[in-house]
């Protein structure tokens, strides 16, 4: 490929077939103790001449492109006018383009005014991927998320009010055994209050490079949940989610020992029934070697 990627390069699973442009490198916050995605990079913003040149090249190479993802972890941190120019130019150069998306930290959504978010939405930025991780303020502080449950809810509502499709991630096992119940209770409360269009459940997996940092910042002995306890958390979460609008739920990430999917509120009981069945048939658990680590 002709793109000058700075690796490692990450994108959401649902963007597997998207064309990716790195408009920023790394993450401006980069302190979440559970995430090592951008620890090898210093945050920077790529200049327009570089971004434009890559767009020009790829519009000739892949002119039929329908979806584009703007990397790295902090594209929304760009100044609104610059981001708008990038988005508008992408639609000019890719006539079949249907969607442009990026990661969005709660703090970056909140930094934008409603008018700025609407400006970007009108230009054609369609979708945000936002990490909830947990709805417990205790756990959010322990993992240095840089957000509270209240600010996450505000960010989600602000994005939805501006017309964005919102896909959120939560992490099973993030509170360990000690804080499992409050983790799930708070997470369900955030989902209920914000009702994202999509919710994806991952399971905590700590890369070797950040294990010590995670345990140190956690401030107390961290006892990981077992696969069976992770399934208990999934059952509790599904049971406590109570939304009126459709929320498409997926727990099929490579990190998960068990997988379920459905749409709230219609499929809630069906998902609970499947979890109950999986508890009686542990042989359906995904083998460790197939969990994407």
Helix axes 268-280, 227-240, angle to 10 degrees: 160
Please state, in angstroms and rounded to a whole number, the distance separating the CA atoms of residues 89 and 122. Answer: 13
Distance, CA of 155 to CA of 157 (rounded, Å): 6
Report the range of poorest mean pLDDT among 5-19, 75-89, 177-191: 5-19
Q: Using one digit for the tens of pLDDT, what is the confidence trace for 190-231?
A: 999 999 999 999 999 888 889 999 999 999 999 999 999 999
pLDDT for residue 289: 54
For the chain, the first-to-last Cα distance in angstroms comes to 25
- Distance between CA 241 and CA 193 in Å, rounded? 10
| pTM listed for this prediction | 0.94
With tokens 């130019």, the residue in question is: 89
- Lowest mean pLDDT of 41-45, 205-209, 281-285, name the range: 205-209
Q: Are 222 and 185 in contact (CB under 8 A)?
A: no
Q: Note the pLDDT of residue 254.
A: 84
What pLDDT, on the 0 to 100 scale, is given for residue 3?
Answer: 84
């Amino acid at each position: 490929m002709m793109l000058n990627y700075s690796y490692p390069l990450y994108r959401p699973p649902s963007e597997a077939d998207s064309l990716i442009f790195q408009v920023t490198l790394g993450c401006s916050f980069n302190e979440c103790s559970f995430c090592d995605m951008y620890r090898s990079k210093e945050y920077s913003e790529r200049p327009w001449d570089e971004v434009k040149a890559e767009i020009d090249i790829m519009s000739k190479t892949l002119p039929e492109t329908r979806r584009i993802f703007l990397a790295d972890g902090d594209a929304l941190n760009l100044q609104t006018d610059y981001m708008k120019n990038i988005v508008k130019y992408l639609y000019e150069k890719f006539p079949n383009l249907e969607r442009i998306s990026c990661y969005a930290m709660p703090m970056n959504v909140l930094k934008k005014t409603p008018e700025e978010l609407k400006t970007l939405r009108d230009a054609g930025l369609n979708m945000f991927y936002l990490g909830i991780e947990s709805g417990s303020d205790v756990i959010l502080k322990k993992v240095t998320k840089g957000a509270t449950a209240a600010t996450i809810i505000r960010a989600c509502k602000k994005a939805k009010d501006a017309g964005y499709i919102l896909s959120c991630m939560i992490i099973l096992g993030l509170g360990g055994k000690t804080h499992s119940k409050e983790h799930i209770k708070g997470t369900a409360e955030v989902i209920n209050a914000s009702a994202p269009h999509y919710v994806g459940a991952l399971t905590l997996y700590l890369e070797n490079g950040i294990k010590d940092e995670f345990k140190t910042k956690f401030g107390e002995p961290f006892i990981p949940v077992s696969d069976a306890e992770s399934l208990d958390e999934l059952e509790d979460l599904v049971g406590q989610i109570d939304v009126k609008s459709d929320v498409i739920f997926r727990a099929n990430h490579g990190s998960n020992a068990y997988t379920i999917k459905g749409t709230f509120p219609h499929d809630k009981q069906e998902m609970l029934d499947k979890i109950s069945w999986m508890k009686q048939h542990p042989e359906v658990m995904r083998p460790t070697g197939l969990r994407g680590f």
